[in-house]
């Protein structure tokens, strides 16, 4: 089943120009801007412009051109912002278990410091 897209989500408003953003990259298919509450010296959000909720529907419904543009944008941003050499992390939160806050697909690109291990281990029961 297709995911229902809320046209009033905050990134939809940014994409329509109704809210500001600190843009770092844009092309026909993609907009990238700085995260308002950065978790690292570099923290950029990379969005397809069309209304996809998550990787789940994007991977099913987006055109090859959109998918290519999105992942190419990540490399472009990493090079532009100077983290390509030292390393960085890209991730997408999806849905409830992924703690996705904004229901418009976005890739986080974080870097500029040692990011530590990837995911907190589950607490073990005694």
Give me the residues that bind ligand AMP (CB under 6 A), please.
10, 21, 35-37, 45, 93, 99-102
Which of 40, 39, 37, 31 is CA-nearest to residue 13?
Answer: 31
Place of tokens 């849905």: 95
The residue among 29 and 104 lying less far from ligand AMP, judged by its C-beta, is 104
The residue among 36 and 71 lying less far from ligand AMP, judged by its C-beta, is 36
Catalytic residue among 29, 43, 104, 106: 106
The residue among 56 and 93 lying less far from ligand AMP, judged by its C-beta, is 93
Q: What distances in angstroms separate CA 44 from CA 24, 85, 123, one per listed residue?
A: 8, 17, 30
Q: Please confirm, yes or no, whether 43 is among the known catalytic residues.
A: no
* Minimum distance of ligand AMP from residue 102's CB (angstroms): 4
Contact indicator for 32, 41 with CB cutoff of 8 Å: no
* Minimum distance of ligand AMP from residue 52's CB (angstroms): 13
CA distance 44 to 52: 18
CA distance 10 to 24: 18
Coil vs helix vs strand at 30 = strand
* Minimum distance of ligand AMP from residue 115's CB (angstroms): 15
Catalytic residue set: 106
């Amino acid at each position: 089943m297709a995911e229902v897209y809320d046209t009033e989500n905050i990134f939809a408003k940014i994409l329509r120009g109704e809210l500001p953003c600190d843009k770092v990259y844009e092309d026909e298919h993609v907009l990238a801007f700085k995260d308002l509450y950065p978790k690292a010296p570099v923290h950029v959000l990379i969005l397809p412009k069309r209304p996809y909720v998550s990787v789940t529907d994007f991977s099913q419904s987006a055109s090859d051109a959109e998918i290519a543009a999105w992942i190419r944008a990540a490399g472009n941003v990493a090079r532009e912002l100077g983290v390509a050499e030292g390393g960085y992390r890209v991730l997408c939160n999806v849905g409830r278990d992924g703690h996705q806050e904004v229901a418009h697909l976005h890739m986080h690109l974080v870097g500029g410091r040692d990011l530590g291990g990837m995911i907190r281990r589950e607490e073990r029961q005694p």
